Structure 1
Amino acid sequence: MIKIGDTLPSVTLQEYSEVEGEGCSIGPNPVDVSQAAEGKTIALFALPGAFTPTCSAKHVPGYVDHFDDFKAAGVDEIWCLSVNDAFVMGAWARDQKTGTKVRMLADGSGDFARATGLTLDLSARGMGVRSTRYSMLVKNGKVATLNIESPGKFEVSNAETLLAQAKA
């Protein structure tokens, strides 16, 4: 399992980006995690699935609402990862009105989740293997803080906890 001080896994995620104008989108586009994280401070949070109740009602909105606070604390980007495809993540981004505040990154095959050891088997609920709910502060590609939720909980991966760590 990934831990503080470890480098993020070298995998490629996918991003489906909204563009100005007719509501058209661009993508899916590959995002090389190593290159995208280089030289940046990133507030990264991951969750079991797009459009799920806790993720949509609490997790994503907290990071969108605290975008300016994260920027003031020195965070360059906020990333949301989920084991969903890029089209679902793009639709969820529109639904959650993340705009340019939160990068909605698809870990469609679960490569990032498996590489970090942060998987959650929801096969009994018809959802397959997903990501555990967690957050981490990443500095220049290395994990600076890591907050892993217990199954079914939403207590330590919220925006407020990671923001406090970014300010410290």
Structure 2
Amino acid sequence: MIKVGDKLPAGTLKEFIEVEGDGCSLGPNAFDIEKATAGKTIALFALPGAFTPTCSAKHVPGYVEQAAALKAAGVDEIWCVSVNDAFVMGAWGREQKTGGKVRMMADGSGDFTRATGLTLDLTASGMGQRSQRYSMLVVDGVVKTLNVEAPGKFEVSDAATMLRQAEAAR
């Protein structure tokens, strides 16, 4: 499992781009993780699935609400990562009003999640292999804090915890 001090695994995540521009085409665009995190502070949080109850009611809304405070604390970008495709993540982002606040990053095949060692087997629930619920503060591609939830819990990966950690890291 990834730990504090490790670099994020190499690979790509996809994001559905609503408006063409800034070198991005309309629709799913692939982003190299190493390049996308270089020189930046990223508040990254991951969750089991788009449109799921805790994820939609608490996890994503908390980061949307705290976006300005996180940016004031030195966070350049906020990423939500889930083992869903970019189309689903784009639709979920529209529904959650994440535009300009939280980047909805798709790990469609679960490659990033497997590489971090933070998988969650939800096969019995019909959801297959997913991501555990966690958050991490990443500075220049290196994990500075890591908050992994116990199964079924939502206590340490929330936006308020990440905000405290971002403020302490300044």
Which bracket does the TM-score occupy, shorter chain normalised?
A: over 0.9
What's 1:158 paired with? 158
Structure 2 Cα separation of the partners of residues 55 and 105 of structure 1: 14
Structure 1 Cα separation of the partners of residues 45 and 18 of structure 2: 20
Tell me the CA shift for residue 26 of structure 1.
1.7
1:6-155 to 2 correspondence within 5 Å?
A: 6-19=6-19, 26-155=26-155
Could you list the structure 1 runs, at least 4 aligned residues long, displaced by more than 4 angstroms after superposition. Answer: none
Matched to 2:105, the amino acid is L
CA contact (8 A) 1:18 1:99 kept: no
SS at match of 1:31: strand
Matched to 1:40, the amino acid is K
Tell me the CA shift for residue 27 of structure 1.
1.7
The normalised TM-score by structure 2 is 0.95
Provide structure 2 residue ranges, at least 5 long, that are not aligned to the other structure. none
Matched to 1:131, the amino acid is S
Structure 2 Cα separation of the partners of residues 18 and 52 of structure 1: 22
The normalised TM-score by structure 1 is 0.96
Structure 2 Cα separation of the partners of residues 148 and 119 of structure 1: 11
SS at match of 1:64: helix
Structure 1 Cα separation of the partners of residues 140 and 77 of structure 2: 12
Provide structure 1 residue ranges, at least 5 long, that are not aligned to the other structure. none
Q: How large is the RMSD of aligned CA atoms in angstroms?
A: 1.0
Matched residue count: 164
Residues 18-47 of structure 1 deviation map (CA, whole Å, 9 limit, x = unaligned)? 228xxxx82210011000000000000000
CA contact (8 A) 1:113 1:119 kept: yes
